[in-house]
Amino acid sequence: MGHIENFQADTLKFAPKEMVDDQAVIRTDKHRSYEKLKKEMRLRPVKSRMGKGLEELHKQIMQFKNWLRGIHHKCSAQHLHAYLDEYVY
C-alpha cells in the first residue's frame, strides 16, 4: 500500500515500478492517465462495475480507520503515510 500525490500519468508512472513486480499484469480501470503507461507496463483495463467489486477495498479502509481510532485516536495529513506504513507492516 502506498500514497501517490495525484492521478496524473507522470505520477502513476513511478508508483508501480516501486510497488509492483516487473512481470505483473496490472488491472486498471479505463482512466486516461493509464494510456501513457501501456508501453512501459503490462496493463489490463477492466470495465467498471459502478462500485461493485470494491467490497474488499472498503473492508480494508474500514479496518484501517478502526485501527487508527483505536490506537492513535486521530491522524494528521502530515503523518498519514507513516500510519499507513505501520498498519500494513
Closest CA to 38 of 18, 76, 12, 75: 12
Domain boundaries, the chain: 1-48, 49-89
Residue pLDDT, tens place only, 15-74: 666 677 878 888 887 777 787 777 778 888 777 777 666 677 788 889 988 888 888 777
Phi, psi for residue 39 in degrees, rounded to 5: -75, -25
Amino acid sitting at position 19: M
Q: What is the pTM of this model?
A: 0.50
Q: What is the pLDDT of residue 35?
A: 79
| Alpha carbons 44 and 28: distance in angstroms, whole number | 6
Q: Facing residues of 43 across strands?
A: 26
Q: What is the pLDDT of residue 15?
A: 63
